[in-house]
A and B are shown apart, each in its own frame.
Chain A
Amino acid sequence: MHNPSHPLPHRFARPGGLGFVSYVVVALVVLWSLEGAGWSMDRLLSSPPKLADFFSRAWPPSTHNLDRLAWKMVETLQIAVAGAAIGIVLSLPIALLAARNVLVGRGINQVVRVLLGFIRAVPDLAWALVFVVAVGLGPFAGMLAIAIDTIGFCGRFFADDMENTDPGPAEALTATGAKRIDIAASAIIPAAMPAFISTSLFGLEKAVRSSTILGLVGAGGIGIELKVGFDLFDYPTALTVILMIAVVVIGVEQIGAVLRQKIIGTAR
């Protein structure tokens, strides 16, 4: 039984002055953003009939060009796999330079991390536009865009993974006189390998998602079919492309989850 001499504690802590101001500021920023994003309840409420009209015109999905669309989807996966593979391989040496206390000093760590931040800050579609200019239209530009996007993603997380490994093995090898490169290769990278695999699988999933829309800017893959479908009001074909993208992306995510579970025993 509760001792009545002690009052029951509050269910929730009251926010302090600073906490209260923070809540208000966050709420104001969200409202301001909604206004900037053109929030319109009228337009939102009027959209279901238009959506229903689209689906009525798009259904059933077209199967006329299934062969061509399937090959475009294969090309999309090739862009994703090739770009992700190159990106993952190149990420490792870059991450070694970005990780603190692994190979190089703080100055180089910071420069490399800023560079990785810049790569991540530029959207994959923008990279695709840049590479279309550099190497011309087609899947090669898309693959390069995926590769650089993967470097930005995996490079940063590989570096974080290495920094988060247990420092004990590295210290034990340091005490035997091992060089930094030997410590990185023998102790830090093997310890971070489960995290690398997990990050790489996320990188591949991200690459597959990105590669499906690179065609919008002429960088190969099935995205161009989506654009053409909408441009020509061929909604059944557009719906087929959307469904194919959904199946492939969900499939790759499921395979990634299974692989993560099998290889590292955790579904991070």
Chain B
Amino acid sequence: MPLDRPGLRRGVTQGGLQVLDLQAKELAKRFGSGAPVFSGLEFSITQGDCVALVGANGTGKSTLLRCCLGLIAPDAGEVSLLGEKLTDLGGAARRALRARTGLVGQKHNLVPRLSVLSNVIHGLLGRHSGPRYWMQGLAPAEARTAAMATLTKVGLADLALRRADQLSGGQSQRVAIARALVGNPRFLVADEPCASLDPQAGEEVMALFMSLVKREGVTVLFTSHNVQHALSYGDRILGLQGGRIAIDAASADVTPKEMAQLYA
């Protein structure tokens, strides 16, 4: 169950102004010569907010998430992440910015033959480069301690040395969450984090994920096909339809009918 009340706006303010962690302006993207996936998208996310991005299959949710992190370049428009324009950043500056972000994917995306602990330590690679962070056996004590502390938060400390490909789907996703959180990110993107899990495991993972990010004050942009998840865990709903933003409202103000129309 969500820890916060639905619709509660938690945005951080400085001097009366809301601190924007993400600003997208006139974003457009198409693949090849096909129709645009989306165009003219404009939205912003305040620090500490948890925003649910919803829409039918093929509306470009995953593409938009990746554009927001600079993993895919938009064809037009610009993204400001944590106060920095992605287009202005060179390689090193972009990596430094990404060290304050994280991505949780629907496929967990763990390295299968490595231990759970090594996978979590990989979450520190944005801040620390080199062989000592490639696997847990080489890692410095502080990295191992931080990773174990994060594994404890997701309830998997006892599986630290288990190979990642020997975990259940729910356990894998918890490890992916631990990897995303171990570096204390300020902004997290989660692309349908429960899509590959059964309803029970999906419910547990989502509740754990949201309780952790809200406790840590992390700004979150997540996608979900589960309308209830979006309304329960998202402070705000961004609804994509036909390559445009059809809904941008506090979750408490969005009606089930409006949500249903997104998938019509």
* Among candidates A168, A169, A171, A185, residue contacting B131 with C-beta atoms closer than 8 Å: A185
Interface pair A175/B113, CB less than 8 Å apart: no
Stretch of B11-19, B99-107, B204-212 contacting A (4+ beta carbons < 8 Å): B99-107
A interface, over-half SS: helix
B123 nearest CB neighbor, chain A only: A176
Residue contact B125 to A171, C-beta cutoff 8 Å: no
Q: A194 to B114: give the CA distance in the assembly, Å.
A: 12
Interface flag for B97 (CB, 8 Å): yes
Measured between beta carbons, the chain A residues less than 8 angstroms from B124 are 176
The answer to whether the Cβ of A9 comes within 8 Å of any Cβ in the partner chain is no
The total number of A-B Cβ pairs within 8 Å is 92
- A136 CB-CB contact with B under 8 Å: no
Binds A, one of B175-183, B223-231, B240-248: B175-183
Determine which of A174, A181, A190 lies in contact with B113 in the assembled complex, contact meaning CB atoms within 8 Å: A190
Query: For A183, what are the chain B residues with a Cβ–Cβ distance below 8 Å?
Result: 125
- Interfacial residues of chain B within 88-145, with CB under 8 A of chain A in the complex: 94-105, 107-114, 118, 122-127, 129-131, 133-135
The 8 Å CB contact of B111, one of A178, A182, A191, A194, is: A191
* C-alpha gap A169/B175 in the complex (Å): 12
Report whether A168 and B109 are in contact in the complex, using a CB–CB cutoff of 8 Å: yes
Which residues in B have their C-beta under 8 angstroms from that of A169? 109-111
Total chain A interface residues with beta-carbon distance under 8 A: 22
A182-B130 CB under 8 A given contacts A172-B105, A174-B98, A177-B125: yes
Residues of A within 8 A of B (CB): 166, 168-169, 171-179, 181-183, 185-187, 190-191, 193-194
Interchain Cβ contacts under 8 Å between A and B, 8 examples: A168-B107, A176-B98, A176-B103, A176-B126, A176-B185, A190-B111, A191-B112, A193-B113
Name B residues whose Cβ lies closer than 8 Å to a Cβ of A: 69, 71, 94-105, 107-114, 118, 122-127, 129-131, 133-135, 176, 179-180, 183, 185, 189
